[in-house]
Structure 1
Amino acid sequence: MNTLTQEIEKHIKKLVNPLKEEEDLLSVLKVKLTKKELKLLKAWAEETPTEEIRTKLNLDETHYADLSTKLIKKLNQEKIKQTICL
């Protein structure tokens, strides 16, 4: 099982500084992401199967793909990278 930190590192293209501790990271993400985006990120970290995630979050394939893309784009924004890094 991945941690939230490992999952975020997997999706960020260029990370200059290390990420904050797991608890601090979660606090920042609660502010910066929507509830669904945060739930999706946590589910990825827990390696939950896609179908199960879609069912839990009540998403069809298109909305799941859109939400995933939006989340990854958000994680790669400089402003967000600055707040989640040390």
Structure 2
Amino acid sequence: MSTLNEEIEKHIKKLVYPLKNPEELLEVLKVKLTKKEFKLLRSWADEVPQSEIQTELNLDEKRYGELSTKLIKKLNQEKIKQAMCI
């Protein structure tokens, strides 16, 4: 099972500084992401199968793809990266 930090690091293209500790990181993510984006990221970190995520978040295949893309783009925004890093 990967941690939330490891999952975020997988999706960020260039990370200059290390991520904050898990508790602080959760607080930043709760503010910066929508509830669905946050749940999706947590599900990825917990290695939940895509079909279960889609059912839990009430998403079809297209909407799942859109949400995933939006989340990854958001994680790569400079302002959000600065908030997540030490």
- The TM-score with structure 1 as length reference comes to 1.00
Q: Which runs of 4+ in 1 moved over 6 A?
A: none
* Mapping for residues 21-40 of structure 1, pairs under 5 Å: 21-40=21-40
Aligned to 1:15: 15
- The Cα RMSD (Å) is 0.2
* Mapping for residues 59-78 of structure 1, pairs under 5 Å: 59-78=59-78
Aligned to 2:49: 49
- The TM-score with structure 2 as length reference comes to 1.00
Flag structure 2 segments of 5+ consecutive residues without an equivalent: none
